[in-house]
A = this chain, B = another copy of it.
């Protein structure tokens, strides 16, 4: 399902190795000046980096083919096309009938009766997350004018853990500073350890966790039941390949606490209502509480590895071995961290528009 959105409607299209990927954005206001500097910066951050991830260089030379004139939105559907460049489909071809473990190859070939394009993952490729960067950046520029800031850090790479956010005390400055960083972590020492592990990891791959915060969100955002903040965020986040889990606030840890410890009691502080803790991660009843919204995502190790793996030939139904050629990210946590920010920016803006349509 490639359409989503309540107050802003977005449509994704494209495949890893087609001519264009694209996104159609409907219901943005006319006269919005798109901050292309922010967009370009976010596209850069998402791009693979030498030594950290895959050597594939993508330029993301998007063009806007509708809904845009002289730097401003026209009110019509806003459409970005992103050309696919540097396509090396040859390196994928030999393995057409041999599904790569932990990729979509096998279930997709069944679902689509083998008509789906397998090279590069087709429309299951992580390449499509560039579309999240586009809508995420536009959303970010609108939210930041409303003083709402979203930031994420790499919480862990394999078993190397960064510090956690202090749940009940996250400033917008922390978010802004994380947004400046291509490999955002809270503890700089840990960053070096992580980078070293990544460098050492040859022919294999690493996963990790990402922790995100949404700061200064007004109280009461989210719609009861099927559009709770958790519902919508997780629906959208699980569109990002490789995410295997999501937790809010203390998440799975809260299950080990007594209610009397887990509950976030209220108190008055400088004439404002606040909480003594924020174990619920800024969300109650699916609504924002005014405290920082905090969530964590689990990113599985990149499935493409250079090591030889067991697989099967789908045509002959025989066991075989597979070496996945092509370009591989030893880890994609440091790229997905930026995608998650984009998803969150869009989701929060879309929910906020239920309250009013002031775009600032």
Contact = CB atoms under 8 A, between A and B. Distances in A.
Interface of A: 1-4, 6, 9, 11-15, 18-22, 24, 26-27, 30-31, 63, 65-67, 69, 72-77, 79, 81, 99, 101-108, 110-113, 115-117, 121-124, 128, 156, 158-159, 201, 204-209, 219-221, 223-228, 230-232, 234-236, 238-239, 241, 243-252, 254-260, 262-268, 271, 273, 275-276, 279-281, 284-290, 296, 298-305, 307, 309-312, 314, 317-319, 354-357
A204 B259 CA distance: 6
Contact of A108 (B101, B285, B302): B285
Contact of A317 (B75, B273, B289, B290): B273
Give how many copies assemble into the complex: 4
A110 B77 contact: no
Contact of A235 (B75, B219, B226, B259): B226
B245 A248 contact: yes
B112 A31 contact: yes
Contacts of A6: 1
A325 B245 CA distance: 36
A117 to B, nearest CB: 5
Nearest to A246: B246
Contacts of A302: 259
A223 B235 CA distance: 12
Q: Which 5 A-B pairs have the closest CB atoms?
A: A104-B285, A111-B220, A245-B247, A205-B259, A76-B123
Given A65-B20, A238-B286, A255 B30 contact: no
30 contacts: A1-B227, A3-B3, A12-B225, A18-B65, A19-B65, A30-B116, A74-B122, A75-B115, A76-B116, A102-B262, A102-B284, A104-B287, A107-B285, A107-B289, A108-B220, A111-B221, A156-B256, A204-B260, A205-B258, A206-B258, A207-B255, A209-B252, A239-B286, A244-B250, A245-B246, A245-B247, A245-B251, A254-B300, A262-B300, A267-B312
A113 B113 CA distance: 33
B273 A106 contact: yes
B235 A4 contact: no
B243 A230 contact: yes
Contacts of A230: 238, 243
A207 to B, nearest CB: 4
A135 to B, nearest CB: 12
B31 A113 contact: yes
Contacts of A259: 102, 204-207, 301-305
B263 A102 contact: yes
A206 B77 CA distance: 31
Contact of A66 (B14, B124, B225, B307): B14
Given A106-B273, A285-B104, A122 B244 contact: no
Given A108-B220, A220-B107, A238-B231, A310 B266 contact: yes
A133 to B, nearest CB: 15
